[in-house]
Chains A and B, each alone.
Chain A
Amino acid sequence: MSAPVLEVRDLTTVLNLAQGPVEVVRGVSLDVGAGETVGLVGESGCGKTMAMLSVMGLHPQPPAEIVAGEVIVGGRDIRKLSEEERRMVRGAQVAMVYQDPMTSLNPLMRIGDQIGEVLVAHGRSADEARNRTVEILGQVGIPQPRRAAESYPHEYSGGMRQRAMIAMALALHPQVLIADEPTTALDVTIQQQIITLVTDLQQAMGMAVIWVTHDLGVVARVAERILVMYGGHIVERGPTDQVFRDPEHPYTAGLLESIPRVRGAERHPLRQIPGAPPDPTHQPTGCPFHPRCPNAVEKCVSEMPPLTERGGADHAEHWAACWVPPEEWVA
């Protein structure tokens, strides 16, 4: 892996609720190399979005608060920067595309103005901003970009709005793009277009992308490495093909078995993981997955397993947090 453009160390975010602080992101660490694609997967409610918002400094305050950890961009821990310096990182070095393009654009502003605003906020002149806006709108595949810049969000479909959001995020050539389930709110056919668009632009611009998704199919296609999140923890990480072939965490294994396979030798009845991710206000003790885990042993109830490197020559950079090795799994 090349030198990381984004490093997150032991990031912990809590929600300060009436009953006290509740940890929703628990000691998350990750590295993203230049131009690399990383998939961050897990069911809804596992803390993926909150982790990414915390990286951006966009976690809703209050009630959310980052209580520990470092977010290192370009060699600097942005948590230690002044608000003004942090502002210059957001949108310029690290940018984000959000889940719902229908609500993520300001309904009262022209699309062009909303994109131009990013450029002006980061020191470009009004003229430069105008030209770059039309250029980037063309690059994300919006027809008649000059006219599009004059349009309001309500004149656009969901897919077109997400393209505009991507244009907005990429206007300043960020080194890292965080794509937080950018296709969830879109039609299936449009989903494919958006995925292809982002991967094409990634190749053209050379930025790193963190794909946040619960769709393992997408991750398999685009991501070189995968991070699996559960109950606020990263429970497994490694190269995508390895994790898919030999999952080292029962949660990952469960997710993989929940993918419908309708053809070929891998065909099997669709399975699902019983239960739902824990409510952060009622986190189980020990490993957060143990109440749903078929392989849980006594230790799982009392102690959270650390993320440890898995052995084997073909398991390079493959880490998982589980007390029970796959050989001893019952299912």
Chain B
Amino acid sequence: MKKLSAASKIYLIIVFIILYAPIFYLIFYSFNSGGSMNNFESFTLEHYKAVFEDSRLIVILINTVIVALLSGLISTIIGTLGAIGIVSIKDAKMRNILLSLNNVLIVSPDVVIGASFLILFTMIGVKLGFTSVLVSHIAFSIPIVVLMVLPKLLEMNKSLIDAARDLGATKRDVLTRVILPYIQPGIFAGFFLALTYSLDDFAVTFFVTGNGFSTLSVEIYSMARTGISLTINALSGLIFLITVLVVIGYYFVANRAKRVSEEVQR
């Protein structure tokens, strides 16, 4: 393969700079003792202190993490079971209908999802707040889990199941000792994606959250609407750090899972 020309290198570098500049810009000014994002006075950590001293913000942070973890967990369970069920359907037409329905929420604009869930919750009388937010997050994370698990299930050799059955495994054994370990990388990927979907969601949460309950995205939105506050900058510095750590962690987990599954196959 040819080496990249100087022009292409410059192009890539510019794209990377544009992608990262706003993020580093935010983090840079989080250390600004002046109150604005354009005039760096001197280095300070007071905005980080403000984040940790703002108990309301901490509660919101905890809420966000709880919603993400719970919705990730529950949607992973329902989605994985659903994927196993879909694969077992023999009727190709039925299977395709389910798969198309599965994709509806993935391609739907989040405003539409938010608005329709708002109608739904109001109709069946669910109080807007933690429950409605959690249920919505579970609802829009399920299809992505299914899409992550499905390919793993499809590439699995059916004779593995037959072999296990022949060797006297019960149905439960087949599920827990053969199918689940095999599709584990897909399940992990689904769980991580569900987590990011939940953490990143703004529009759906914005619609179905009531007055008393707020997640980070919604809170940042209302803070940003009132103008610049360097507390948000400090928050983004922390979030960036956590994101990078999670990405590195995910990278290692994914790599290890790959190596383990390769060893199993050997």
A binds B: no
Interfacial residues, chain A to chain B (CB-CB below 8 A): none
Interfacial residues, chain B to chain A (CB-CB below 8 A): none
